[in-house]
């Protein structure tokens, strides 16, 4: 692996919990290629908004940092990765200077690293969300990496390779590359994973279909066929729905996880103009509050299989009644035991929680602290 010292930015389509006004709500984000824009709507396709419309050329991926409420996007025309608030304000360049053709992106909320695929340089990179510790993690054995997804529980990175026509995965540091699917693909593009059902889902923009398989690549099933150019795919796991974009047919559509009941959600006239990417972030796990600031919870070890220590740097009376825990479906969970661990510290015994990603929120008088942890067996 080669260590780098500079950094840059990118875009696509994404489902997200966003803050418009003071309320936090579940939102769908996507990118339009022509005219170039970043868009947002409710997940039923209503309340369509233009989020970013200036200084874009070919925005591609858009994703959301669920810990810090930021959108990130890649633009293969400007050769940038940028970020902004969920409403498009406070826009800034995140990565610049050496990007060739940035495509898919994914964020690991546990380590707070951004991963992206550069199709032009044939590499996969990572950088922390502060913009430092940029690294090439994969540069051998790949040809045109396209879509990315992080397995937060098993600490894996999944990606599609358009030219090699394969689906692969590796550890988050780029080691132990595995080829999962290598037959029957032409141009795999978007990918998402469902850990609960041990499945992955992807689009093939040449064979014009959506397929699914077990996470080890077995039991390949075609779910939706006879599309035009399906690009990105995201799962709404709570409602057991697939959302996907069709770039050439210019629509965003939804279907059941088995591929049935395909329905166009947003068409060209409604605001899907050559849409590219897609993502879902569940707003149920983020509460709407009047507090003036959000700060990150600091805890260790993460991932954990038993105990999680929360460390509050501020000096105030820590009250366990102010702590809430949500699973990846946005449902509040309670099977943990809280105990004191010293000044400004709480210890959570999470041994009885199922494996998965969890979201903690602690409310003090004038602040909300948020963080993400992973429970492993």
In which residue ranges of the chain is pLDDT below 50?
1-24, 284-292
Report if residue 157 sits inside a domain: yes
Claim to verify: residue 260 and residue 365 sit in the same structural domain:
no
b/e per residue 214-234 (b: at least 16 CB within 10 A): ebebeeeeebbeebebbbbbb
Which residue range(s) make up the domain with 238? Answer: 14-285
208 with 321, same domain: the answer is no
pLDDT at 302: 87
CATH number at residue 250: 2.120.10.30
Dihedral (CA of 25, 30, 31, 37) sign: negative
Per the rule left: phi > 0, alpha: psi between -120 and 50, beta: everything else, 236 is beta
Choosing from 238, 256, 285, the residue where a domain stops is 285
Q: What is the pLDDT of residue 13?
A: 37
Its pTM stands at 0.81
1, part of any domain? no
Which of 285, 311, 331 marks a domain boundary? 285
Domain count, the chain: 2
Do both 232 and 321 map to the same domain?
Answer: no
What's residue 68's pLDDT?
Answer: 82
Please count the CA atoms within 13 angstroms of the CA of 207 that sit on its side-chain side. Answer: 19
Residue 19 lies in a domain: yes
Quick one: 281 and 333 in the same domain? no
Give the separation between CA 363 and CA 52, rounded to whole angstroms: 32
Answer yes or no: is 5 within a domain. no
**Residue 53 counted as domain residue:** yes
Whether 252 contacts 265, CB under 8 Å: yes
Q: Which of 188, 183, 185, 217 is nearest to 200 (CA)?
A: 217
Report the 10 Å Cβ neighbour count for 359: 23
- Asked if residue 232 and residue 349 are part of one domain, the reply reads no
pLDDT at site 16: 38
Q: Which residues pair with 300 in a beta bridge?
A: 309
C-alpha to C-alpha distance for 78 and 112, rounded to whole angstroms? 25
- Output b/e per residue, 80-108; b: 16+ Cβ within 10 A: bbbbbebbbeeeeebbeeebebbbbbbbb
Out of 262, 285, 308, a domain closes at: 285
Q: Identify which of 329, 327, 347 has the alpha carbon closest to the alpha carbon of residue 337.
A: 347
The answer to whether 138 and 127 have CB atoms below 8 angstroms apart is: no
Instruction: Report residue 250 as tokens.
Output: 């210019």
- For residue 247, being part of any structural domain is answered with yes
Residue 114 domain-assigned (yes or no): yes
Do 241 and 105 lie in one domain? The reply is yes
Judgement on whether residues 277 and 340 belong to the same structural domain of the protein: no
Specify if 4 maps to a domain. no
Instruction: Clarify whether residues 183 and 276 are in a common domain.
Output: yes
The answer on 177 and 219 residing in a single domain is yes
Contact 211, 204 (CB under 8 A): yes
CATH number of the domain encompassing residue 343? 2.60.40.10
Residues 264, 301 within the same domain:
no
> Do 275 and 220 share a structural domain?
yes
How far, in Å, CA of 61 to CA of 146, rounded? 10
Q: Are residues 119 and 209 in the same domain?
A: yes
């Amino acid at each position: 692996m080669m260590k780098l010292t500079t950094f840059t930015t990118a875009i696509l389509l994404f489902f997200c919990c966003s803050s418009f006004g003071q309320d936090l709500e579940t939102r769908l984000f996507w990118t339009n290629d022509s005219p170039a824009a970043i868009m947002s709507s409710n997940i039923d396709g209503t309340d369509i908004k233009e989020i970013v419309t200036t200084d874009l050329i070919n925005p591609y991926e858009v994703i959301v940092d669920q810990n810090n409420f930021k959108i990130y996007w890649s633009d293969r025309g400007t050769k940038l990765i940028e970020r902004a608030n969920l409403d498009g304000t406070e826009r800034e360049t995140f990565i610049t200077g050496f990007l060739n053709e940035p495509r898919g992106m994914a964020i690991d909320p546990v380590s707070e690293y951004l991963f992206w695929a550069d199709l032009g340089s044939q590499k996969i990179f990572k950088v922390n969300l502060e913009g430092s510790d940029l690294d090439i993690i994969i540069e051998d054995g790949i040809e045109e990496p396209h879509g990315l997804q992080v397995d937060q529980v098993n600490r894996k990175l999944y990606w599609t390779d358009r030219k090699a026509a394969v689906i692969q995965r590796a550890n988050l540091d780029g080691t132990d590359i595995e080829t999962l699917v290598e037959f029957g693909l032409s141009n795999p593009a978007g990918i998402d994973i469902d850990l609960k059902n041990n499945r992955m889902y992807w689009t093939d923009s040449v064979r014009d279909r959506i397929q699914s398989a077990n996470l080890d690549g077995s039991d390949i099933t075609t779910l939706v066929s006879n599309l035009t150019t399906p690009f990105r795919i995201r799962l709404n796991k709570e409602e057991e729905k697939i959302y996907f974009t069709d770039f050439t047919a210019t629509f965003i559509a939804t279907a059941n996880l088995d591929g049935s009941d395909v329905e166009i959600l947003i068409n060209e006239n409604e605001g899907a103009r050559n849409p590219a990417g897609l993502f879902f972030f569940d707003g149920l796990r983020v509460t709407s509050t009047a507090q003036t600031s959000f700060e990150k919870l600091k805890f260790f070890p993460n991932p954990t299989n038993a105990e999680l220590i929360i460390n509050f740097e501020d000096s105030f009376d820590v009250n366990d009644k102010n702590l809430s825990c949500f699973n990846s479906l946005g449902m509040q969970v309670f099977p943990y035991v809280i105990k004191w661990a010293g000044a400004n510290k709480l210890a959570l015994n999470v041994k009885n929680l199922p494996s998965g990603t969890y979201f903690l929120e602690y409310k003090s008088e004038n602040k909300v602290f948020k963080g993400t942890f992973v429970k492993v067996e």
